[in-house]
Amino acid sequence: MNHPKLIQGGMGIGVSWWQLPRVVSMLKQLGVVSGAHADIVFVRILQLGDPGGHLRRALEHFPAQDVAERIIATYYNEGGLLAHKAFKNPPRYTLAFDQRLAELTVAANFCLVWLAKEGHDGVVGINLLETIQLPQLASIYGAMMAGVDYILMGAGIPTQISGVLDKFVNHEPAQYKVHVLGADRKDSYYVSFDPQSIWTPTTTLTRPYFFPIISSASLAKMLIRSGQIDGLVCEGSPAGGHNAPPRGQLKLTEDGQPIYGDRDKLDFEQMRQTGIPFWLAGSYATPAGMRKALEVGAQGIQAGSIFALCDESRFLPEIKAVARQLASVDGLRIFTDPQASPKGFPFKKAILAGTLTDSEKYAQRRRVCDLGRLRGPCIRSDGTLGYRCSAENVDSFVAKGGSVEDTINCICLCNALLANVGLAQRRKGGELELPFITFGDDYSWLKVLSPDGANYTARQAVDYLLSG
């Protein structure tokens, strides 16, 4: 397979919705949709009246039309959502199988990939997070139903995915082992999914290429032993979103950012020796970065932030405009926060006014966990199974066995990242959830694409990255 040289990063929640990846794929590079919280983005757009009718058009092609009809009946508002109304949320995931939630997750990921692939012969990938385990099986199967070409996965060690893909090609049931906080090592917990619960398939599916997202050669070797790996994305600490923690004991700078050292640098020679094609990510989004990647033996690069600010991303236009203006004068500050993410990974945030990076606005927000996609299963003090998130109400989190220290400065990413793309929940009293922007360390490319903070397109970004 002659894989594309450029991978567009799959940015969540909803930043890499279908429009951006479709453009990149039509340019014969790898456009990647974000599967994180796809079901929630999906139902909120339906509740807004599905502008343009795109989701309903995709649902018309969903093989299980009874499922499509139930989803439309449950979530679609023909006239859109009234200004003072809150969004209706889908159920929260648990270890127990929920038929309607599984149907919704399968359909949402199907539609997302189907729309990105519509009308061209380019390749499309989907990005998922290992740390969000409960929706994993239904998300993967829905994407495969739509013919997704690549699955990319980071934020953890995805050793189970290769086996799942082998099962789903033939529509066989699959299990996914889930990490349960506080569980005895001898106990194992799983989520299960049977494709036959959605429809009665008549043909096999195509197995997508599987590209884990990693930070070290040693992790690459571990994953290669776990099953069929087709490529590797090697992401360094300058990349936006969740970063791998530094290897060894965590040390912080004076302002509280993790310190990365020589042990965290990728060994290019060891990567070449794996025999698996690899791409470099994190501050490679320039023609010079592409040249360097090719020189050290990589197939190319993955780039995210350069696409986050282009016209086709779902970031709110006003957010893109402010970020571009600040970056054009080197005024955009990026901070790697070891506490922000409920999942414990360092999270790179852009310091912008009017977002939850403002300590006063953070303190004013009522802590609520009404979406629950980042909460993890846990064993309560009484031995029963529960679910907790360090961004939820502090007393509730502690009552489930969590520590107060883990809640300090923790952000409800589920709600904040939805606000980034214009899908903020409205709370009692009328206030909206505030955004929280993630961005990579390097934005030197803006000096070329947007020297005065002006708009630019995904095509311009692709042409620039391939121009060297």
Q: How many C-beta atoms surround the C-beta of residue 87 within 10 A?
A: 19
Would 348 be classed as within a structural domain?
Answer: no
At 423, list the tokens: 């899908």
Supply the mean pLDDT for the chain: 92
At 340, list the tokens: 């922000």
- How far apart CA 191 and CA 173 sit, in angstroms, is 11
**94 Cβ contact partners less than 8 Å away, ≥ 6 residues apart:** 134, 377, 387
Expressed as residue numbers, the domain containing 203 is 6-315+454-465
- How far apart CA 8 and CA 27 sit, in angstroms, is 11
57-61, 96-100, 442-446, range with the lowest pLDDT: 442-446
**297 Cβ contact partners less than 8 Å away, ≥ 6 residues apart:** 268, 271, 272, 278
Task: Write the CATH number for 34.
Answer: 3.20.20
At residue 264, what are phi and psi to the nearest 5 degrees?
Answer: -95, 0
At 233, list the tokens: 């994305």
Whole-number pLDDT of residue 309: 93
Tally the domains of the chain. 1
User: Which residue type occupies 431?
Assistant: E
The arithmetic mean of pLDDT across residues 69-83, rounded, is 93
- How far apart CA 317 and CA 325 sit, in angstroms, is 12
- With contact defined as beta carbons under 8 Å apart, do 231 and 278 qualify? yes
Whole-number pLDDT of residue 297: 95
- With contact defined as beta carbons under 8 Å apart, do 368 and 374 qualify? no
Distance between alpha carbon 199 and the CA centroid of its chain, in Å? Answer: 27
Top-confidence range, 97-101, 155-159, 378-382: 97-101
**209 Cβ contact partners less than 8 Å away, ≥ 6 residues apart:** 1, 3, 149, 150, 151, 230, 231
Q: How confident is the model at residue 378 (pLDDT cuts 50, 70, 90)?
A: very high
User: Which residue type occupies 312?
Assistant: E
- How far apart CA 287 and CA 291 sit, in angstroms, is 6
At 6, list the tokens: 């450029």
Residue 134 has pLDDT above 80, yes or no: yes
Q: How many C-beta atoms surround the C-beta of residue 303 within 10 A?
A: 30
**Could you give the residue ranges of the DSSP H alpha helices within 36-159?**
38-47, 54-59, 65-75, 99-117, 136-145
At 448, list the tokens: 């070329």
Would 70 be classed as within a structural domain?
Answer: yes
The pTM score is: 0.94
Would 290 be classed as within a structural domain?
Answer: yes
Residue 264 has pLDDT above 90, yes or no: no
Whole-number pLDDT of residue 442: 86
Query: Measuring CA to CA, which residue among 143, 146, 169 is closest to residue 228?
Result: 169
Burial (Cβ within 10 Å: 0-12, 13-18, ≥19) of residue 219:
middle
- 189-193 and 124-129 strand pairing: unpaired
CB crowding 89-102: b at 16 or more within 10 Å, else e: ebeebbeeebeebb
Would 59 be classed as within a structural domain?
Answer: yes
The arithmetic mean of pLDDT across residues 181-200, rounded, is 92
- With contact defined as beta carbons under 8 Å apart, do 339 and 353 qualify? no
User: Which residue type occupies 201?
Assistant: P
Give the pLDDT confidence of 280-319 residue by residue, as tens digits: 998 899 999 999 999 999 999 999 999 999 999 999 999 9
Would 346 be classed as within a structural domain?
Answer: no
Would 183 be classed as within a structural domain?
Answer: yes
Query: Measuring CA to CA, which residue among 151, 296, 163, 266 is closest to residue 212?
Result: 151
Would 10 be classed as within a structural domain?
Answer: yes
Whole-number pLDDT of residue 277: 95
Residue 464 has pLDDT above 80, yes or no: yes
Whole-number pLDDT of residue 72: 97
Would 376 be classed as within a structural domain?
Answer: no
